[in-house]
Amino acid sequence: MPAGSTYTPIATTTLGSAQSQVDFSSITASYTDLVLVMNTKGSTTNYPFLQLNGATGTSYSTTTLTGSGTTATSVRQTNTANPYLSSDAANTTDFVFNAILHFQNYSNTTTFKTVLIRANSASTGTGATVLLYRSTAAIDTITLKLNTGTYAIGSTFTLYGIASA
């Protein structure tokens, strides 16, 4: 885990009303990596997915290693517009869901971007996902969407920046 004075909050949101998506925009390029921590509940059982820089096309792929509590599986998504944080860890109607997302080297303009995700729901499952966003653009907007329903009041989202120097 990162440590010291380089772990800096960029923005934080605690929902005062239900929202179908949460956006972090105008993200500064002045850090090396980003970490996003979310602790949420849903209006109904739903599944969060990620959108970067507003890209709605099929420019994402994911590989997930996941456990439902009874079965361990690995799941692939390719050429998808809805890259899910997890296939088992659901955002249920109580505060059981959390996820920690790591965006390494997010602001470079040379390479495609990968995101390392740990997602947890003690009601439905746990696992890790690697996400590929096939774009060399610096990430300046992160959007957390849902396949259905909303994030409920009280859900929290915090974006941290990590500077290497």
Partner 1 sequence: MPNTFELIASVTVPSGGQAAIDFTSIPNTYTDLCLQLSLRNSRSGQVIQEGLITFNGSTSGYSERILRGSGSAAISSSGSGANFSLNGFPAGSSTASTFGSANLYIPNYAGSSNKSASAEFITENNATEAYAYMNALLWSNTAAITSISISAGATYTWVQHSTAYLYGVKNA
Point out which residues bind partner 1 (CB under 8 A): 1-9, 12, 37-39, 41, 65-72, 88-89, 94-100, 118, 120-128, 154, 156, 158, 160, 163
Check if the beta carbon of residue 62 is closer than 8 Å to that of residue 83: yes
162: which strand partners? 7, 33
Shortest spacing between CB 21 and partner 1, in angstroms: 19
N-terminal to C-terminal alpha carbon distance within the chain: 16
Identify the three-state secondary structure at position 6: helix
Shortest spacing between CB 68 and partner 1, in angstroms: 6
Q: Give 33 or 88: the residue with its C-beta nearer to partner 1.
A: 88
Q: Give 57 or 69: the residue with its C-beta nearer to partner 1.
A: 69
Tokens of 4: 């010291």
Shortest spacing between CB 75 and partner 1, in angstroms: 13
Check if the beta carbon of residue 77 is closer than 8 Å to that of residue 62: yes
